[in-house]
């Protein structure tokens, strides 16, 4: 899979007003800016990619309830993650995280947090 395929899926989700988007296993190393326009998304799967950072723009996806970032190369999360106040499930397993931002404690709706396989 490729960035072109990711962009195609993002465009289709935009056209249909999708609430779920699967961009897993696409070998992308950065998130396309077009993704942040999908404000109706509730579930976003980014697992199995090459992401080494999560841009602060992710906070534009305010309706997200599930964010899957397993099996990437993330070393840290932006403090702005706390703006995703609707998150109930956050999957961060198998990354390179050594700590979480203290702001993560502001995610009051979070009921599932997976961190296995990190530093």
Q: How far apart are CA 51 and CA 27, in angstroms?
A: 8
Predicted confidence band at 1 (pLDDT cuts at 50, 70, 90)? low
Q: Are strands 43-45 and 66-68 parallel, antiparallel or unpaired?
A: parallel
Q: Taking a C-beta distance cutoff of 8 angstroms, is the pair 68, 92 a contact?
A: no
Backbone angles phi and psi of 22, in degrees to 5: -110, 110
pLDDT per residue as tens digits for the range 6-27: 999 999 999 999 999 999 999 9
Cα end-to-end span (Å), the chain: 28
The SS3 call for residue 50 is coil
Q: Taking a C-beta distance cutoff of 8 angstroms, is the pair 26, 3 a contact?
A: yes
pLDDT per residue as tens digits for the range 61-96: 999 999 999 999 999 999 999 999 999 999 999 999
pLDDT of residue 2: 80
DSSP one-letter string for 63-78: T-SEEE--SS--S---
């Amino acid at each position: 899979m490729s960035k072109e395929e990711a962009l195609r899926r993002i465009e289709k989700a935009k056209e249909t007003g999708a609430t779920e988007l699967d961009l897993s296993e696409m070998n992308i190393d950065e998130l396309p800016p077009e993704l942040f326009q999908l404000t109706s998304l509730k579930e976003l799967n980014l697992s199995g990619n090459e992401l080494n950072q999560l841009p602060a723009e992710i906070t534009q996806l305010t309706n997200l309830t599930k964010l899957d970032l397993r099996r990437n190369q993330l070393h840290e999360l932006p403090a702005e993650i706390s703006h995703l106040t609707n998150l109930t499930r956050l999957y961060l397993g198998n990354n390179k995280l050594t700590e979480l931002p203290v702001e993560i404690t502001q995610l009051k709706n979070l009921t599932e947090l997976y961190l296995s396989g990190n530093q």
